[in-house]
Amino acid sequence: MASRFPFVFLNLCALFAAFPAAAQPAADSGVAPGLVASTLKIARSAGAISIDGKLDDPGWKGAAPVETWYETRPGDNTPPTIRSVGYLTFDDTSLYAAFEFDDPDPRAIRAPFGDRDTIGSSLDYGGVIIDPGATGRTAILFLANPRGIQYDAVTDDGSGEDSSPDFFWDSAARITDKGWTLEIRIPFSSIRYPKTEVPKWGIMLYRNYPRDFRYQMFSTRLPRSSNCFICNSNGLEGLQKLPSSGGIVVAPYVSAGQDWADEGTGELRRSPLDKTGGLDVKWRPSASLAVDGTVNPDFSQIESDAAQISTNERFALFYSEKRPFFLEGIELFSTPIQAVYTRTITSPRWGLRGTGKVGSLGYTALAAEDRGGGSVILPGPQGSDFADQEFRSWVGMARVKRDLGRSFVSALMVDREIEGGGSNRVFGPDFRWQRGSTNTVTGQLLWSQSTTPVRPDLASEWDGRKLDGHAAQVWWQHSSTHVDWFTQFQDIDKDFRADSGFVPQVGYRQIYADAGYTIRPKGFLRRQRFFATLDRQTDRDGGLLQQLFDVGTGMDAKLNSFLQFRFHHDRILAGPGVLSRAYGNALVQTSPSQLLNNLSLEARFGQEIDFANSRRGHGATITFSASLRPTDNLALSLNDSLRFLNVDAGPLASARLFTARVDRLRATYTFTARSFVRAIVQYIETKRDPALYEGTVSARSRSLSGSLLFAYKLNWQTVLFLGYGDDRQPNERDALEPIARSLFVKISYALQR
């Protein structure tokens, strides 16, 4: 069976490539079906344009103004109360966009300095959203704030928005006595697009304007009855003679690090100086193809992952990918079942990737050698565990996707071959069927073939056994002006494995349904949704694993705030029996000003389940976060989480089983749009009562970590980093003492041609 694996995948690819052309939109239809908005015209620039935030260059003369905008939030495609004007043009190398954003009170503009991708919904910004393939489904966001700070992301109507990818582009902005202006230059070499004689792209011009409410304005209408976003783009006509290739970017780097570690002696001992270098290359041999290569890549995390409370959690926690090599075409690896999770490639020696499109067929393929390290998820029906990955492996991933208007069919293949024996192979098709703008059906069917490594010292199931299984998911989403619903069925075999993905639960069937009704009053509230959710999971013999029911309401309110209140009732298999719990959940978020940029408090309280000891209890989880900007240059971010659980300790008494907390403070001072210094302190602590546990646990565990980083960036690949890190844990006197320290420097420079 295993030997047929590549042939099955190739046959699926051939089937999708040969899918009847009649199922596609007509070749001369321009943008994809559903793009019913007006078409914006663009003409070649009349002269040179300098990206400085001024709109007085010769290249802007004759550019037609885009003066028709729609307030889509909180208004329902109503005329905006403030003026916005956009301009578009292009030359032989780049697409240009410019904006005049009026403001009745320029002093109220929320425009702090910050690092790339740090602007959010509570700040002023604007820009363009481009669908260069006219897919009506996937687009790239190029947005900037009044300081020229950039935010770029890939968004897909099926999988949502991901700000991890970065692109080469320029922006500059100026605050004036009437508001602010913005100029953007996007090299065609930064975009993958089909090479046609008469290109027709999709585009949206966008402005975010947060004051008493969050106001969003677009150059196109966004019907509230639509469950898609990019499908509503304006058409863009007038582009011609675009470059047929995108050039090459070569980004070598050198880095050096000095570590000190406690190897059991109670003292920090210095390790040899670690000096290394590597190379990243991006080549665009054609406008629709990107080839990425890397040798000895530096995949260090410049900013550590935000800690999450894992105490009393049954399944592995998810952390986002941040490493540049994996981010080209990242949306192509996003499928209903997450069979690809590139953070499972923990320490690549080299990597090679190709991403492109031929007609309506998109594809991406990645290969890498992983030196090992990190952990592998060991999934189960009631919880997941981890095993150390103490071996080298070779990883291959590929997906092909055939667009059929705003629908598609696709095939995925993932293969990990382990040194010394062992493998995990996952393959299968998925699809999306879009009927009109209100109904979407998506599904995926995967098979896995696994031979575990012979390492029973690391995991009991790693004894060379063979595990073959399937995973299936199908869901239907409906959206209209007031009514929406979502329903999903999932079936995952107990022997299904996705070692290169994120599937922490197997051996279950799930039926999930969510329905809501939305009203839009005037006054303090502008939108309120009432909802109910049912989630039932059983093992594959029909035994109950979990049944959840909740009802609640969420609302947008004044002071740029969001409120949500929910009541939950669960029945969950914990150990030998099913236990129930009922609890409430409240969430309050607000962004009233630039100083109080974002305040959030979430509290969960009521009955709980002690999963470690299979019994009922009661407790709470409280999460508080605050983003403060005392000045345009200084940003403070505070995140605190607290969880406690009490269990019965007798007929009339209860006792505290554990208290867990995570405290994280991040302070960033941004000198200019190119340089900043950042300090992070993170404290994690768990206190337990060992007498209340059936097994052996420590009474207290805690750690303290800190880091300091100076960064200078010309762009996202031309950088200088200087950093320091410090990790501390308690000694026998329960005092926090250093267990590791590190110093590092990294220099990377991108050469473009």
Q: pLDDT tens-digit profile of 211-257?
A: 999 999 999 999 988 888 998 999 999 999 898 877 888 999 998 98
**How big, in percent rounded to 5, are the helix, strand and coil portions of the chain?**
5, 55, 40
pLDDT value, residue 630:
94
pLDDT digits (tens, 9 = 90+) for 180-220: 999 999 999 888 888 888 888 999 999 999 999 999 999 99
Q: Which helix (H) or strand (E) holds 541?
A: none
Band of residue 342 on the pLDDT scale cut at 50, 70, 90: confident
- From 221-225, 261-265, 512-516, 563-567, the region with the lowest mean pLDDT: 261-265
In this prediction, residues 326-342 reach a mean pLDDT of 84
Phi, psi of 409 (to 5 degrees): -125, 150
What is the percent of the chain where pLDDT is above 70? Answer: 92
320-337 b/e with 16+ CB inside 10 Å = b?
A: ebebbbbbbbbbbbebbb
Beta strands 84-90 and 94-102 are: antiparallel
CATH number for the domain harbouring residue 173: 2.60.40.1190
Q: Is residue 10 part of a domain?
A: no
Residue 152 included in any domain: yes
DSSP 104: S
Residue 164: C-alpha distances to residues 88, 121, 328 (Å): 26, 17, 10
Higher-confidence position of 52 and 12: 52
pLDDT (average), residues 720-729: 90
Q: State residue 26's pLDDT score.
A: 35
Lowest mean pLDDT among 13-27, 171-185, 215-229, 708-722: 13-27
Taking the C-alpha atoms of residue 426 and residue 394, their distance in angstroms, rounded to an integer, is: 14
- Cα 386 to Cα 504: distance, rounded to the nearest angstrom: 10
Cα separation, 323 vs 226, in Å, equals 34
Q: Is residue 137 domain-resident?
A: yes
Tell me how far apart the alpha carbons of residues 298 and 293 are, in angstroms, rounded to a whole number: 13
Phi/psi at 22 (5° precision)? -65, -20
pLDDT score, position 261? 87
Question: Using one digit for the tens of pLDDT, what is the confidence trace for 730-750?
Answer: 877 778 888 889 998 999 998
Residue 670 lies in a domain: no
Instruction: Give the bridge partners for 157, in sequence order.
Output: none
23 has pLDDT over 70:
no
Q: What is the pLDDT of residue 263?
A: 76
Answer whether residue 703 is part of any domain.
Answer: no
Q: Look at the chain and report how many structural domains it folds into.
A: 1
In a domain, 420, yes or no: no
Least confident span in 48-52, 189-193, 693-697, 733-737: 733-737
Q: Is residue 206 part of a domain?
A: yes
**Average pLDDT for residues 7-26, to the nearest whole number?**
46
Establish if 186 belongs to a structural domain.
yes
- Band (pLDDT 50/70/90 cuts) for residue 320 is low
User: Which residues form the domain of 157?
Assistant: 31-237
pLDDT recorded at residue 27: 35
Higher-pLDDT residue of 635, 263: 635
- pLDDT-derived band at 321 (thresholds 50, 70, 90) equals low
pLDDT of residue 25: 38
- State residue 384's pLDDT score: 82
